[in-house]
Amino acid sequence: MNFDLSSMNSYVLIATAFAAAFLATLWVSLIIWTIRDVRRRSKDPMARILAVLIVALLFLPGMLIYAILRPARTLDEEFQQSLEEEALLQTIEDIPLCPGCSRKVQHDWMVCPNCQTKLKKKCHHCKALMELPWNICPYCGTTVPGMRKETTPLEDMLPPITPTLFDDLEGQEQSTEVS
């Protein structure tokens, strides 16, 4: 009976020692994990100290509180997110809007399908799409017909109309002179 009791006591002692060692290791591990985790999630030194204190003082319940209150995203994830948002914003800004009805249109549309506003024009030489205010094709260098090039004299731009017009005028002048 005596022997049994002492052996029981020693078993309990060993078990208790193991449990204590396990709990102590768990406690230290939790603190180390919290230090690492909070470092990745917050730059605020106060928040870091507070997180470690909560876990150190309250142990597992403190761990639970930290898990609930910690920032959802790590600083890395937040940085990635901000980059993605910026990229998304950029693409949204890049989507052209119809000047007539402000709906989204594609870069290669010539006419708005909704309000039929003319959006682009085609180069008559290489058929590339051009912005409406452009007077010269950026792809092949052809000037838009009807637009005056600096070097082109006005008479060259209007060959079929001007001679007959001037002839008529001259004819009229001559006829008035004759009569």
Of 28, 87, 97, 140, the one binding Zn ion by CB under 5 A: 140
- Smallest distance from the beta carbon of 81 to Zn ion, in angstroms? 34
By the rule CB under 5 A, 98 interacts with Zn ion:
yes
By the rule CB under 5 A, 111 interacts with Zn ion:
no
Is residue 74 within 8 A of residue 84, CB to CB? The reply is no
By the rule CB under 5 A, 100 interacts with Zn ion:
yes
By the rule CB under 5 A, 28 interacts with Zn ion:
no
User: Where are the alpha helices (H) located in the chain, listed in sequence order?
Assistant: 2-41, 45-69, 75-94, 154-157, 161-178
Of 37, 51, 137, 143, the one binding Zn ion by CB under 5 A: 137
The phi, psi pair for 131, rounded to 5°, reads -65, 150
Of 38, 52, 54, 112, the one binding Zn ion by CB under 5 A: 112
Of 111, 125, 129, 136, the one binding Zn ion by CB under 5 A: 125
> Within 13 A of 79's CA, how many CA atoms are on the CB side?
7
How many beta carbons lie within 10 A of that of residue 159, not counting itself? 8
The phi, psi pair for 120, rounded to 5°, reads -140, 165
Q: Report the DSSP beta bridge partners of residue 121.
A: 130
By the rule CB under 5 A, 119 interacts with Zn ion:
no
By CB under 5 A, name the binding residues for Zn ion: 98, 100-101, 112, 114-115, 117, 123, 125-126, 128, 137, 139-140, 142
